[in-house]
Structure 1
Amino acid sequence: MNPLLEVRGLTVTYGSSHGDIPAVRGVDLSVAGGEKVGIAGESGCGKSSLALALLRLLPRTATVDGEILFDGEDVLTMSFGRLRAVRWAGASVVFQGAMHALNPVRRVEEQIAEPILVHGGDRRSARIRAAELLDDVGLGAARGRAYPHELSGGQRQRVMIAMALACTPKLIVADEPTTALDVMIQAQILRLVGGLVADRGISLVMISHDLSVLAGTCDRLAVMYAGRVVEQGPAARVFADGRHPYSRALAAAFPRVGDPSARHNPQGLPGDPPDPSDLPPGCAFHPRCPVALPICPTVDPPLRRWHPAPGPAPAEAGAIDAACVHVRESHAAVGP
């Protein structure tokens, strides 16, 4: 069975007065129907560029190469008319800044109804559908008469989710949907998104810097660093037993509630991701890596398969792909 979304060799390069800046470097990713896939990494690792490329929402300064197959069609070669039909109805986006994404001078019910009207719905059915969606996301139809500034951050994010669901898409791309929200509201939004996509059989691509958030929401995780996917596999296993040192650092950066050792000895990762216009040689992570080897500045390892120790579950179910020489040298690594 073909995946709903398949990304092959995707590159995104931004033109600037200082030369070309590679933001995404050869990413391969697949999402099956009804699957929830998380993409993790620090700011500047290429997550949002990847998300925006999926529906050709990048600025004109960006050059995109590779393939983005949605339901078997390449998004990058679609006519604008076909792309317009796919947006909202086939795949939709929940942006991280709802206040910036919503029109401040239009009532939220009108904004939820707009994609329905664009895709051929009549005004009466669009109003009814908007009211149903407001109920589904826990706001209530009466709040549809409000303007964005009359709603809290969490309520505005619920409106964005309702808009994303308006045309019953097969895929939702959520780009940092809870970044600006407090912890309690963040948990509510994550439960809401997870429940809605599961009930409707919708695929989800969720972007976040918080590995723990993605591990609790998604089926699979892809960890990005310096524009590349450096690890991918089952969400719970990548979070608990990541093979790449960067994945382990991300997992350790978020303290666990009730764990005294996490409170008294918080973990972190010194430094910042490299400037995309000045990437270090070899593995881009090696200047920050706590277990770097002398060979790391000379090789940029590809993703390789690592299998967990034999157990009751099939080995393939827990397999992780990681781009690290430590995985290559492990007796558990397989492949070329």
Structure 2
Amino acid sequence: MYLHTNSLIFINFQNKLKSLCNVTLGGAVVYQYIYYKKDFKGYYDQYLKPFSQFLSPEWAHNAGVAAIKYGLFPPDYSEDPKVLVSAYFSLAAGFDKHGDAVIGLMKLGFSIVEIGSVTPEPQPGNPKPRVFRLPEDEAVINRYGFNSEGHEKVYQKIKSIEKTLPDKGLLGINLGKNKLSENAVQDYVLGIEKFSDVADYFVINISSPNTPGLRSLQKKEELHQLLSNINKARSSIQAPLFLKLAPDLNKEEMKDVVSVISKKESKVEGLIISNTTIDRPQLANKEFMNEAGGLRKIPIIGVGGVFTGQDAYEKILAGASAVQIYTALVYHGPPVVSKIKLELAELLQKDGYSNVNEAIGKGVE
């Protein structure tokens, strides 16, 4: 009888404990949800960002893309300040490599989403680990090596969401070559042909440091041959063509690029300056000084090292018509998009500009 009574008391205690845990857990979940909805930036900084640091950089990257794809981050429905009406904020290629989260990214406040680089055939990219965080420098080293699901799969994804893309959003397709391809020119031509009916613009990526021999396509003769063949393939295609360059070109190499893109048969509509650099003497974290991979530091799209409105403003003053971000999203998450916009608007208004176009190139006059 004693044991039976004791058992009943214990079972009753267990049930009360379970009820208390359920209430506590439920309350915690409700609290987290309210905090998340009311102050997403604060919630991201206090909980999500620290949690992401426990994941490997590539796992965190993939988790972020998935969260954006499935709408787990609240969209930004706020109106941009009037001074930013003509501003273009773009997500640089490399974040959404396979076109998984285009709609979600546009809802976060990006007016342009550039996916890729996409290669003709699927390929796994370089061996892991291939992404490294450098918190001291707020930088990321990557050597993904054009890991891609291939033209066909990415194209089908874009076609499946084509009718639901926001009217004001632009989609860029960043093209790359397969690592083992013996005909780089043909790889890029195939990309132009494949995505001709879904791309708002194309980017020819010949500046990644992670595909052997790719940067040699920036040499004068090779570049002329590449762009001439691409222009033949897009003769009836309206989507403009951008060339993504490396930041490590010397003055003579830059002159060669300019001479090529100035010719009618090998012209481009704009430049993206620049891709990741292999030169990193300024890093605070000396452990990664010699780590292989790229470091993320006519119309020009400015990219590299944009974390604040001041960073974006400096690129605009230097001649950029649009600004791309990548690493800022890695370290500061979706709230950084609206933060950069608001800071840029304040700077433009402070200096007396009524819109972004008025400020383009003013810093080099």
TM-score relative to the length of structure 2: 0.32
Bigger share in strand: 1
Higher share of residues assigned helix: 2
Higher relative contact order structure (alpha carbons within 8 Å, sequence separation ≥ 6): 1
